[in-house]
């Protein structure tokens, strides 16, 4: 291995270490209450060294959220069965996403925070965000199977594909935020997270089906 390759590998290793440290800080303190000083301390780096790799905590959080979104998308791709119809694959996607958020709490917090925040306040490249949202996040798979479902006559065709898939995405993100942040409140009235998820999936499914077909 040459010097250039070794330096690049070392740089990538350090970036990964920073992301791991930052995720612990963000999950423990919340991103709003976290600082670059906190991340530097957790990563055992000077603040100056940290800024060589990331310009802001928002940029760090973006990297963390993207890492988890890519993992979720890959898990969905691996679980898809082209023998299934589009609706069946959409349900598989939803269940994988819910399972991922349940099993990986830090990942869930990263994804949910990023989805809920005002992008204009993050000082990030808007084109970079747009590209990642379209190509690397699960929404591009969601759009694919919504479009396929319309072609199969199973999903309603009275609204644009992008609008329908974006609505489905927004709905499940909202439900996941509720069961992540307000679970105790609902349990006080005898409603579990499983109840909410099951009800949501039934309502969402009934809302997108082509009633003339079914």
Helix axes 161-181, 86-103, angle to 10 degrees: 30
- State the pLDDT at residue 186: 81
Letter string b/e over residues 70-97, b meaning 16 or more CB atoms within 10 A of that residue's CB: eebbebbeeebeeeeebbebbebbbebb
- Comparing CA positions, the residue from 190, 63, 210 lying closest to residue 136 is 63
DSSP β-bridge partners for residue 155: 209
58-208: what CATH class? mainly alpha
What architecture is the 1-54 domain classified under in CATH? Orthogonal Bundle (1.10)
- State the pLDDT at residue 160: 94
- State the pLDDT at residue 214: 47
- Burial of 65 per CB tally in 10 Å (0-12, 13-18, 19+): buried
Whole-structure pTM value: 0.77
Ordered by start, the domain boundaries in the chain are 1-54, 58-208
Cα(207)–Cα(83) distance, rounded to whole angstroms?
24
- Comparing CA positions, the residue from 50, 4, 7 lying closest to residue 25 is 50
- State the pLDDT at residue 37: 95
pLDDT along the chain (214 residues), means of 10: 80 92 88 91 93 88 84 88 90 89 74 64 68 76 93 94 91 83 79 89 92 62
- State the pLDDT at residue 32: 82
């Amino acid at each position: 291995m040459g010097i250039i390759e070794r330096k690049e590998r070392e740089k990538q290793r350090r970036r990964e270490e920073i992301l791991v440290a930052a995720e612990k800080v963000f999950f423990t303190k919340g991103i709003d209450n976290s600082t670059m000083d906190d991340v530097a301390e957790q990563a055992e780096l000077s603040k100056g060294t940290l800024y060589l790799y990331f310009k802001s905590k928002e940029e760090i959080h973006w990297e963390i959220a993207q890492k988890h979104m890519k993992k979720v998308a890959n898990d969905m791709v691996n679980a898809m069965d082209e023998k299934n119809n589009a609706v069946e694959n959409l349900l598989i996607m939803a269940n994988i996403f819910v399972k991922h958020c349940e099993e990986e709490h830090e990942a869930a917090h990263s994804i949910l925070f990023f989805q809920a925040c005002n992008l204009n306040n993050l000082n990030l490249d808007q084109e970079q965000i747009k590209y990642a949202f379209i190509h690397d996040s699960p929404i591009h798979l969601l759009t694919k199977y919504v479009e396929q479902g319309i072609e199969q006559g199973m999903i309603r065709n009275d609204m644009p594909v992008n609008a329908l898939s974006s609505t489905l995405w927004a709905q499940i993100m909202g439900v996941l935020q509720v069961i992540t942040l307000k679970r105790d409140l609902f349990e006080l009235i005898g409603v579990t997270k499983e109840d909410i998820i099951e009800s949501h999936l039934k309502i969402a499914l009934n809302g997108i089906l082509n009633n003339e077909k079914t």
